[in-house]
Structure 1
Amino acid sequence: MTRILVGALALTALAWTGSAEAKGCIKGALVGGVAGHYAGHHGLVGAAAGCAIGRHRANKQARQDNDAAGQAQPAAR
């Protein structure tokens, strides 16, 4: 449990320095770290995978939001 806490704190510190790249990573890392820890004491592997999945989902959502915002704008004349 201590490793998960230390990893979570480290990821939080990294997120503050580069929030644009880390969007989705913190939540995914926390969930993945806990799941990996309980699934077989592989918390760090779970945290890394959770971070990657979280970033992927955040980027996908951002693309969808940008597409929706672009379609909501009326065409310029």
Structure 2
Amino acid sequence: MTFVRSTLAAALAVLAIGSFTQAQAKGCLKGAVVGGVAGHYAHHHAVLGAVGGCVAGHELAKHKARVAREKAAQQHATAGN
């Protein structure tokens, strides 16, 4: 029964996370799914894993976007000379 409860809790967490707008949820859903699965296997902490995965995925997506913007700005500045 605990597997069913943890799976249901993870599914509800993913659905709640899915209610964010696209800009806010970038990277969050994928991180939540991966974190939820990992948390489930780590002593049945699927919800905690989903939340942590969401945060980590969102931060990673922000970092990748910032690096891409900086690279594009550098290429634009180099091409302008």
Band the TM-score falls in, shorter-chain normalisation: 0.7 to 0.9
TM-score, normalised to structure 1, is 0.84
Query: Gaps (5+ residues) in structure 1?
Result: none
Distance 1:67 1:75 in 2: 15
Q: Which protein has the larger Cα radius of gyration, Structure 1 or Structure 2? A: 2
How far did 1:7 drift?
2.1
Aligned residue for 1:5?
11
Structure 1 residue 52 displacement after superposition: 0.7
CA drift at 1:75: 3.2
Separation in structure 2 between the aligned mates of residue 10 and residue 3 of structure 1, nearest angstrom: 10
Provide the rounded CA distance (Å) in 1 between the counterparts of 2:73 and 2:49: 36
2:73 equivalent in structure 1: 70
RMSD, aligned CA: 1.4
Name structure 2 gaps, 5 residues minimum: 1-6
- Which stretches of structure 1, 4 residues or longer, exceed 3 Å deviation after superposition? none
User: Residue 37 of structure 1: CA displacement?
Assistant: 1.0
